[in-house]
Amino acid sequence: MPHTAAALIELGALFFGLGVLGRLASRIGVSPVPLYLLGGLAFGTGGLLPLDGIASFADLASEVGVVLLLLLLGLEYTASDLVAGLRQSWLAGVVDMLLNALPGAAAALLLGWGPLGALAMAGVTWVSSSGIIAKVLGDLGRLGNRETPAVLSVLVMEDLAMALYLPITTAALAGLGLVAGLRTVGVAMALLAIVLVVALKYGRFVSLIVESPSSEVFLLRLLGVALLVAGLASELQVSAGVGAFLLGIAISGETAENATRVLAPLRDLFAAMFFVVFGFNTHPGAIPAVLPAALALAVVTTLTKIATGWFAARGVTSSPVGRLRAGAALVARGEFSIVIAGLALTSGELNPGLAPLATAYVLLMAVLGPVLARVVDPVARAVVTRRQARAGA
């Protein structure tokens, strides 16, 4: 069979299969992320039926997926939101980092993966999945709850922290020297500062660059600028995803709303490819060996995220049920954890066990997070009611 025909058949089968998995995830009420990862494991290296004919396309599509994921994440925030979040929630962000990054770092050191492995695993266990959490809160009708702003503030702090963490990790994994590494971090900090200033004062001009009455022209301009900025950021040794995230912050108002509407289907398509490609590059036979570590991390970091939400919600609600809801909402991990593990995988500098551990961990947390968010409310209310009844007796 000619190569083009085989590649088209493989790609068509892959897209259709992803559609089936997405539909299944919707029916059972979980995020599609773990199912996409399982699909990648099944049809990648060491899987049931490796799809070798689309490797080059899949790799590029995966990079575009990261860019679109972080671009749309940036579009959800305005510069003023981020500045306000920094002022109000910096302490919750520090608590979040300490409680949730340390378990991943400790696990990597115990497994003998060294400081670089600790740096990568700290990010894997630290950052919650904004995409999964936003969907769960919407599905459960909790966007208007008193504790929800505390949840969103933690997510904002994590997203801002990633704008610095990713360049640091990229520089470290690339084996850059101290001077080069400091330069990379300096560039990232300068870019973040410039973007915040530009977005606060001149955001309308950035929006005008991509704005167009024609949806076709608007899409081409927006996607073109996003890929250009991501490529330039990557050339400066700053993560391409961070460049896209900062661009999203700079686009504001009605343009940001239109951009989200136009790009959402593309984001879903290429993000699915990103998760699948990560699964492609992970040998399923390596997962059983790291499953005990993944389970232990899942237990520990579920408790630490609940503690984070409890602390973050202290200023907006005194209700134990509301504070538990805030903690449970933050449990899910997903896209950022895989982005970080993907950086480690492509660097070739770390123990090959990191990718299967990250995969197993995200599979567990992407399922556990939404389930826990659903069940914590009735369980917590039942416990509180029982305690009140005992106290009354």
Instruction: Kindly report, residue by residue over 325-370, the tens digit of the pLDDT.
Output: 899 989 988 777 877 877 776 666 677 788 889 888 988 888 888 8
* Topology (CATH) of 31-45+58-378: Na+/H+ antiporter like fold (1.20.1530)
- Phi, psi of 369, rounded to the nearest 5 degrees: -55, -60
Domain parsing of the chain, residue ranges: 31-45+58-378
Six token digits for residue 357? 């551990």
Q: Which range, of 11-20, 23-32, 272-281, 342-351, averages the lowest pLDDT?
A: 342-351
Q: Is the pLDDT of residue 166 over 80?
A: no
Model confidence pTM above 0.85? no
Six token digits for residue 203? 């955001």
CA distance 136 to 365: 14
Q: Tens digits of per-residue pLDDT, 181-223?
A: 667 667 767 766 776 677 667 667 777 788 888 888 888 988 8
CA distance 217 to 200: 26
SS3 assignment, position 75: helix
Q: Is the pLDDT of residue 76 over 80?
A: no
- Work out the pLDDT band at 109, boundaries 50, 70, 90: very high
Q: Tens digits of per-residue pLDDT, 55-66?
A: 777 778 888 887
Look up tokens 């704005």; give the residue.
211
Q: Is the pLDDT of residue 134 over 80?
A: no
Give residue 47's pLDDT: 62
CA distance 76 to 137: 15
Q: Is the pLDDT of residue 1 over 60?
A: no
Give residue 322's pLDDT: 83
User: Stretch 242-261: mean pLDDT, rounded?
Assistant: 80
Do 3 and 53 meet the contact criterion of CB atoms below 8 Å apart?
yes
- Work out the pLDDT band at 106, boundaries 50, 70, 90: very high
Give residue 358's pLDDT: 87
What average pLDDT does the chain have?
Answer: 79
